[in-house]
Amino acid sequence: MTDRYFVVREDILPEAIVKTLLVKDMLQRGEAATVHEATERAGLSRSAFYKYKDGIFAVNQLDRERLITVSMDLEHRSGVLSKVLGLVAGLEANVLTINQSIPLQGQANVVLSVDTSPMTQPIAALIEQLRMEPGVRKAAIIGQG
């Protein structure tokens, strides 16, 4: 399934979505040190924040931000991470950092910080191609900025 994106006026969004953006802004600006602190200040449950955080971004963030953080669940097989890194490089993006968890139950979580400024394709194309890569079970943008 291909992700679909919509531009929606803030006043028609459910309160939990608006508060999720508020929490993300507080964390990005350093106004709150933890998700717990930010959600408490915003009056939002942590479970609601985690439910919506990967799916809501301010339009100005998507237009201007060129540094993204991508979280992926990769199958624990030889060459999967190498192919992912090759795909990112092939789209002219630059991997700045790589963090990988210890594989459990046949998969490992990998978080990449990626500079997308050299890319000519939209960021959504990168995520879509990552999701189609054999061995990638899940791929999502978890941060921009």
Would you say residue 118 has pLDDT above 80? yes
The count of residues in the chain is 145
Half-sphere exposure of 71 (CA within 13 A, CB side): 9
In this prediction, residue 59 carries a pLDDT of: 64
Task: Identify the residue with better confidence: 43 or 67.
Answer: 43
pLDDT mean across residues, the chain: 89
In this prediction, residue 119 carries a pLDDT of: 86
* pLDDT (mean) for 87-99: 94
Q: Please report, as a single letter, which amino acid is at residue 63.
A: D
Give the β-pairing of 94-100 and 136-144: unpaired
Q: Please report, as a single letter, which amino acid is at residue 125.
A: A
What gap in Å lies between CA 94 and CA 101, rounded to an integer?
21
Task: Identify the residue with better confidence: 2 or 42.
Answer: 42
What confidence tens digit (pLDDT) does each residue in 42-51 have? 999 999 999 9
What gap in Å lies between CA 73 and CA 28, rounded to an integer?
24
H or E element, residue 144: strand 136-144
Residues 6 or more apart from 30 whose CB is under 8 A from it?
none
